[in-house]
Structures are given as structure tokens and as C-alpha cells.
């Protein structure tokens, strides 16, 4: 039982990271109905930017996280303007292929300039394990969890109480109607990308701190899994993405705990397929009737 | 003898001429051992791309799971070719087993997931392909795990690959130009309209998906027995993307486009070989630029209609004579 509880703690740390990435997917999908395949790679760029700041410039890890967030926000906006905006009126498949192209581009540019090898992220947070009811929790896990919770609260506040957040929600419901009401849809979309990418950038630094290793291809698998998390929670729903992220994190650690560590990725994809078949709109998604 | 009308004969002649031309080039040593690898890679890519084009271009279903079916074909061929005494029989038995497994998987996956729209389908098929890879990775007794199978007898060469390329292309094109193919195309253009005209949407979507899976599996079998090695790492999500790039580059829905794109990209690969990773960067930029400036790809949905060209030419001749 204690071992199981231990796995839960690990699962929550992992889930925090998935949740942060999933939020970006879900917000972007909510506004422009695009699976931003490049999102996982923005997270990777964030990790590398954080690595650069911490190990080369000796920046404090909190500041590095903030700067990585800002950098990724700019990157996200640039990607949106250059690659996605010209395609807003074209087919969904075209937009999706473009997103895959951007993902490939980011990944291969990083490999080209920095090499494909795994790099060690300097450990900046002391491990300092301590026991709570016999469960070992270390400082890194606390750090990851608290950072995530703070970011989620901030995000929720932005979406709920600011003017921009209101505009975001309006665009998500009906972008044409929002435009008619005088909302600058392009600005809202850019803002959404900035917000989502910033969260991914922070998640990248968190992963660096938590696992101490980063590589140019680290974005693909967590990116896909975070997307699964977003779908499980209901694409477009912010609380859904958070809960989906934690569910995926817990699922992975539980499957590992049951001795199926080799199958943990398969379990996540299997969950995705099951959810898509049983409740395609996800746990928190709204059912949208298709109009002819 | 409708079956032997002039269009089919013209295409048959083109296929035979193509074969003879390649044969002459190989015999003359112009296509040496090194270029043969390029040649076979191009032809196998054509097999993959034609299959994916059927799913994506004709049926309009965005599948990112091609790598899963390729992996099934490759591993079946690898296992049987190594196990059986006559290697060539092994290849064909393995290929048949791979095709059988692919059909079963495509049905299991296709029937429920093809209800999903666009991007959801893409993610679901991607998930299936990843699951296939994870399973292959873990069935150590059969597949030797992450290290893969090496030392597969090299029973494939450009000749049988060429023959299979022609067969699978004919197979797929026959489907496309049949009434089933037209129904499938109707689904791609407007699913609801097609359904209201009485088209069995699920049936044709699944048929296209299964045909795509079959050709992918055949291509995988050939590739495994040409290269002599299979590892799970060869069949990641990126393998599916490679095929997708060919289809998109040539024009979604244009089979001629898939041929042209596979050949052009194959040749481009030879020239860019020394640049390594930069090649992938160029690929990525090209993919984005094509989507932005020429979303229809090189050829759009145009096809080279050799048969029509010849009949037209002959028709004119007749008029000129009379």
C-alpha cells in the first residue's frame, strides 16, 4: 500500500507536467480548432532555453523558468503568425500537416545546432527527501507540484477575470460572432498561443529540473501524451486538461507499478482510443451537434 | 474483350517499357549497387504513398498510422524469411501473414475509429501505430525486442519490388476508378451528402483504410527483405510522416503526384546525403511552405492519363486517315 501511495506521489509530479503541456493544447484547440503538433517541441525549446540560462549564464532557476516562459511565448506567437495564420481559411488537414511540419522543423533545427545527444540539466533544486506518513517525497516533487498549481491558478484567473480571458472564451464559443462584437480575433489567437506556449516553456524547465536530462527529441512523446490528456479531459476545457494531465500521469505510474513499465506508453494510447470511442467529447467536453 | 481495351494495354506497355529501361540501365552498370538502393527505396516509398493517398486523398481520412502496418509487414517477412528453408517462399508466406494481420488490425481499428473526424482520427491511428511498436518492442521471443532482427536473407531486389509496385498500384487504381472508388471520393467531398445519397460511408471508409494497410504491409515486407534488418526504431511516428510528406508534396489525391514526389524526394535525398540533419530541416521547411503557398502539392489532383492521351492521338490519326 505504501509503495502504491509512493507511486501516486510520483504520478502527481509527472501529471503536473502533462497538465501544463495539455493546457496549451486545449486552449489553442479551443480557439482555432488546430492540434498544435509543434506544442511538444515548444516545450523542448523551453527546456533547452532554461538549460542554457541555468548552466551557461548561471541564472537562478526561478528566473530561468520565467524567462523560458517569455521566450516560448514569443516563439509561439511567431509560429502562429508565420505558419498557421496563412492557413486559417484552408482545410483542417492542411493546417494539421503544417503543424507537423513546424514540429519537425523545431526538432531538427535543435538537433542540427545542438546535436541529438541527451544533456544533463544541472540540478538546482536540492533533492532533500522527507517522509510524510512513510511516503518519501522529495523537494523536486514539491517544487514541480507547487509551481504547477500556482500557474494553474494564474491561468484560471486570466481566463475568468480579465478582459482578454473573456475575449478568449468568446472566440472559443464562436469566433465569427466574437468578431462581430468587436473582438480582435487575431489578437486573441496570438494571446492564446503566447499563454499556451509560455506554460509549455515552464513545463520544459520543470522537466529539466525534475529528470535532470533533456534532449532535442524529448518533446514528441510527452507532447503526444499531453494531447491525449487534453482529449481525455475534453479538448477545449481548461479544467479538463488539468485533470486529464493528472490522470495520464497517474495511469503511467500505476502501469509501471504493476510491472508493465514497457507498456506504459501503450496504456496511454489505449486510454485515448477508449475515450474517443466511448465519449469523444472527453470528460469535461461539451457535446456539439454537427450542423449540415 | 473489354478488359483488354486500349487504355489498359497502353499502361501495361508503359509498365513493361519501364521495367526494360531499368533492366537495361542496371545491366549497363549505370544503376550500380549504390543507386539500386535509391531505386528500391523510391519504389517502396511509392507503394507506401499510393496506399496512403488512397486513404487520405480519395477517402479523405487522415491516418497517421501507416508506420504500424509497415512494421507488421516488415516483421512478418523478417520472421518467416529467416525461419523457412527456402527464403523466397518465406518472404511470400511472411508477406501473406503480414497482410492478413494488417487486415485484421485495420478492421479492428478502422470500424470504430473511422467514425471520428479529421484530427481525432489522426491521433487515434497514431496511437494504434505506437501501440504496435510497443508490442513489437516487448515480444522479445519473436521480435528480439529493441535490437530488432538482423541477418534477414536478402531475397528482395529491384525486380520483385518493381513488380509489386506495379501490382499494388494497379490494385489501388482499380479500386479508385470503380464505383466503390467513386463512392469513396464522394465521402471525401461531402460525407453527409454522400450518406444521404445512400453511400455506405463506413463500408467505403474502412475498405480504403484496409487497402492502405495491405499495401503498407506489402511494402514493409519488401523493405525488410531488401535491407536485411528491422528494428522497432524504424517504425516510429516519423516513418508515417515521411510517407505523408510524399503524398502531400505530390498532391493529396493525385497518384501521379505520389509517383513524381517519391522520385523527386528520393533523388533529392541522394544529393542531400552529405548534409545529414540539415536535410530534415529542409524537408520541414518545404512541408510548411507547400502547405502555405501550394496546398494542393505539386500536381494538385491532376493525373497523367496515358490511356486517354493515346486514344486521343489514335483517334486523331484515324480522323486524319479518313
Q: Can you tell me the ipTM of this complex?
A: 0.79
CA distance B201 to A20: 38
> Where does the pLDDT of residue B306 fall: very low under 50, low under 70, confident under 90, or very high at 90 and above?
low
Whether B202 is covered by a domain: the verdict is: yes
Closest chain B residue to A95 measured between Cα atoms? B291
Torsions phi, psi for A197 (to 5 deg): -65, -35
Whether B139 is covered by a domain: the verdict is: yes
Greater model confidence, B111 or B103: B103
Q: What mean pLDDT do residues B23-43 have?
A: 82
* For testing contact with chain B, the best of A104, A114, A268 (most B CBs within 10 A): A104
pLDDT digits (tens, 9 = 90+) for A145-182: 888 888 888 888 888 898 888 888 888 888 888 888 88
- Quote the pLDDT of residue A71: 92
Under 8 Å between Cβ of A98 and A215 = no
| Out of A49-63, A228-242, B105-119, B149-163, least confident range | B105-119
Tell me the chain A residues in contact with residue B248 when contact means C-beta distances shorter than 8 Å. 97
Whether B97 is covered by a domain: the verdict is: yes
- Quote the pLDDT of residue B321: 40
Task: Give the 3-state secondary structure of residue B230.
Answer: strand
Q: What mean pLDDT do residues B154-166 have?
A: 86
CA distance B78 to B87: 10
Tell me the chain A residues in contact with residue B138 when contact means C-beta distances shorter than 8 Å. 262-263
**Is the torsion defined by CA of B150, B155, B160, B162 positive or negative?**
positive
* CB within 8 Å: A100 and B287: yes
Q: Is the pLDDT of residue A261 over 80?
A: no
* CB within 8 Å: A96 and B138: no
Tell me the chain A residues in contact with residue B283 when contact means C-beta distances shorter than 8 Å. 104, 108
Under 8 Å between Cβ of A260 and B156 = no
Whether B127 is covered by a domain: the verdict is: yes
Taking CA atoms, B103 is separated from A45, A255, B96, B117, B170, in Å, by: 40, 29, 10, 22, 19
Under 8 Å between Cβ of B128 and B116 = no
- Give the position of cell 552529405: B274
Closest chain A residue to B288 measured between Cα atoms? A98
- Across the interface, of A92, A97, A227, the residue whose CB is closest to B123 is A227
Under 8 Å between Cβ of A108 and B280 = yes
Q: Is the pLDDT of residue A243 over 70?
A: yes
Whether B135 is covered by a domain: the verdict is: yes
Tell me the chain B residues in contact with residue A90 when contact means C-beta distances shorter than 8 Å. 291, 295
Question: pTM for this structure?
Answer: 0.85
Closest chain B residue to A112 measured between Cα atoms? B277
- Quote the pLDDT of residue A238: 82
Q: What mean pLDDT do residues B240-252 have?
A: 85
CA distance A103 to A95: 12
Q: What mean pLDDT do residues B174-196 have?
A: 86
**Residue A89: count of CB within 10 angstroms of its CB:** 8
Closest chain A residue to B130 measured between Cα atoms? A266
Tell me the chain B residues in contact with residue A93 when contact means C-beta distances shorter than 8 Å. 56, 62, 118, 252
- Give the position of cell 518545404: B286
How many domains would you assign to chain B?
1
Whether B196 is covered by a domain: the verdict is: yes
In Å, how far is B14's CA from the nearest CA of chain A? 33
Whether B46 is covered by a domain: the verdict is: yes
Closest chain B residue to A220 measured between Cα atoms? B237
C-alpha cell at B295: 496546398
Q: What is the mean pLDDT of chain B?
A: 83
Chain B positions contacting chain A at CB under 8 Å are 56, 62, 112-113, 116, 118-120, 122-124, 126-128, 130-131, 134-135, 137-138, 192, 237, 241, 244, 248, 252, 277-278, 280-281, 283-285, 287-288, 291-292, 295
Q: Is the pLDDT of residue B220 over 70?
A: yes
* CB within 8 Å: A276 and B116: yes
- Quote the pLDDT of residue B47: 92
- Quote the pLDDT of residue B319: 44
Under 8 Å between Cβ of A234 and A283 = yes
Q: Is the pLDDT of residue A87 over 70?
A: yes
- Quote the pLDDT of residue B1: 45
* For testing contact with chain B, the best of A87, A227, A273 (most B CBs within 10 A): A273
* For testing contact with chain A, the best of B52, B64, B119, B249 (most A CBs within 10 A): B119
Under 8 Å between Cβ of A133 and A70 = no
> Where does the pLDDT of residue A2 fall: very low under 50, low under 70, confident under 90, or very high at 90 and above?
confident
Structural domain of B208:
35-237
- Quote the pLDDT of residue A78: 92
> Where does the pLDDT of residue A291 fall: very low under 50, low under 70, confident under 90, or very high at 90 and above?
low
Whether B316 is covered by a domain: the verdict is: no
CA dihedral A90, A93, A99, A101 (to 10 degrees): -110
- Quote the pLDDT of residue A289: 55
Tell me the chain B residues in contact with residue A111 when contact means C-beta distances shorter than 8 Å. 277, 280
Under 8 Å between Cβ of A53 and A64 = yes
C-alpha cell at A226: 499531453
Q: Is the pLDDT of residue A288 over 90?
A: no
Q: What mean pLDDT do residues B145-159 have?
A: 82
- The percent of residues above 90 in pLDDT, for chain B, comes to 13
Under 8 Å between Cβ of A200 and A222 = no
Amino acid at each position: 500500500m505504501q509503495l502504491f501511495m509512493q507511486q501516486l506521489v510520483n504520478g502527481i509530479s509527472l501529471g503536473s507536467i502533462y497538465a501544463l503541456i495539455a493546457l496549451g493544447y486545449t486552449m489553442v484547440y479551443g480557439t482555432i480548432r488546430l492540434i498544435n503538433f509543434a506544442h511538444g517541441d515548444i516545450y523542448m525549446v523551453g527546456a533547452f532555453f532554461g538549460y542554457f540560462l541555468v548552466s551557461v549564464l548561471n541564472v537562478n532557476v526561478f528566473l530561468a523558468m520565467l524567462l523560458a516562459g517569455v521566450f516560448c511565448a514569443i516563439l509561439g506567437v511567431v509560429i502562429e503568425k508565420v505558419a498557421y495564420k496563412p492557413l486559417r481559411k484552408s482545410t483542417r488537414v492542411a493546417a494539421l500537416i503544417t503543424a507537423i511540419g513546424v514540429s519537425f522543423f523545431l526538432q531538427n533545427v535543435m538537433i542540427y545546432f545542438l546535436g541529438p545527444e541527451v544533456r544533463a540539466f544541472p540540478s538546482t533544486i536540492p533533492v532533500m527527501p522527507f517522509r510524510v506518513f512513510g511516503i518519501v517525497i522529495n523537494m523536486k516533487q514539491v517544487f514541480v507540484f507547487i509551481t504547477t498549481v500556482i500557474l494553474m491558478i494564474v491561468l484560471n484567473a486570466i481566463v475568468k477575470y480579465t478582459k482578454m480571458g473573456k475575449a478568449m472564451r468568446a472566440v472559443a464559443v464562436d469566433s465569427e460572432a466574437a468578431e462581430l462584437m468587436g473582438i480582435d480575433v487575431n489578437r486573441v489567437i496570438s494571446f492564446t498561443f503566447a499563454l499556451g506556449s509560455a506554460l509549455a516553456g515552464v513545463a520544459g524547465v520543470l522537466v529539466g529540473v525534475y529528470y535532470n536530462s533533456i534532449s532535442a527529441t524529448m518533446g514528441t512523446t510527452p507532447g503526444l501524451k499531453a494531447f491525449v490528456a487534453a482529449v481525455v479531459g475534453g479538448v477545449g476545457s481548461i479544467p479538463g486538461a488539468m485533470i486529464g494531465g493528472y490522470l495520464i500521469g497517474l495511469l503511467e505510474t500505476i502501469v509501471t507499478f504493476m510491472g508493465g513499465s514497457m507498456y506504459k506508453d501503450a496504456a496511454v494510447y489505449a486510454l485515448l482510443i477508449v475515450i474517443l470511442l466511448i465519449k469523444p467529447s472527453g470528460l469535461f467536453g461539451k457535446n456539439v451537434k454537427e450542423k449540415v | 474483350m473489354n478488359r483488354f481495351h486500349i487504355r489498359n494495354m497502353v499502361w501495361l506497355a508503359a509498365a513493361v517499357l519501364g521495367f526494360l529501361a531499368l533492366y537495361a540501365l542496371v545491366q549497363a552498370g549505370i544503376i550500380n549497387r549504390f543507386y539500386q538502393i535509391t531505386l528500391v527505396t523510391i519504389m517502396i516509398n511509392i507503394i507506401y504513398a499510393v496506399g496512403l493517398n488512397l486513404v487520405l486523398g480519395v477517402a479523405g481520412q487522415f491516418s497517421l498510422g501507416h508506420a504500424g502496418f509497415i512494421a507488421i509487414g516488415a516483421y512478418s517477412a523478417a520472421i518467416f524469411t529467416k525461419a523457412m528453408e527456402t527464403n523466397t517462399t518465406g518472404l511470400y508466406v511472411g508477406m501473406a501473414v503480414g497482410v492478413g494481420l494488417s487486415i485484421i488490425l485495420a478492421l479492428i481499428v478502422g470500424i470504430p475509429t473511422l467514425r471520428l473526424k479529421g484530427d481525432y482520427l489522426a491521433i487515434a491511428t497514431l496511437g494504434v501505430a505506437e501501440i504496435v511498436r510497443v508490442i513489437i518492442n516487448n515480444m522479445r521471443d519473436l521480435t528480439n525486442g529493441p535490437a530488432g532482427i538482423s541477418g534477414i536473407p536478402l531475397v528482395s531486389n529491384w525486380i520483385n519490388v518493381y513488380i509489386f509496385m506495379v501490382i499494388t498500384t494497379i490494385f489501388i487504381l482499380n479500386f479508385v476508378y470503380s464505383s466503390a472508388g467513386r463512392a469513396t471520393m464522394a465521402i471525401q467531398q461531402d460525407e453527409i451528402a454522400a450518406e444521404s445519397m445512400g453511400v455506405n460511408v463506413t463500408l467505403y471508409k474502412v475498405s480504403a483504410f484496409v487497402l492502405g494497410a495491405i499495401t503498407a504491409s506489402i511494402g514493409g515486407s519488401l523493405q525488410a527483405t531488401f535491407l536485411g534488418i528491422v528494428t522497432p526504431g524504424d517504425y516510429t511516428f516519423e516513418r508515417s510522416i515521411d510517407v505523408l510528406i510524399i503524398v502531400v508534396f505530390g498532391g493529396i489525391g493525385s497518384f501521379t503526384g505520389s509517383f513524381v514526389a517519391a522520385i523527386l524526394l528520393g533523388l533529392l535525398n541522394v544529393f542531400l546525403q552529405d548534409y545529414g540533419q540539415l536535410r530534415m530541416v529542409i524537408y520541414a521547411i518545404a512541408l510548411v511552405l507547400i502547405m502555405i503557398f501550394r496546398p494542393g502539392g505539386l500536381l494538385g489532383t491532376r493525373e497523367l492519363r496515358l490511356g486517354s492521351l493515346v486514344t486521343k492521338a489514335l483517334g486523331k490519326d484515324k480522323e486524319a486517315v479518313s
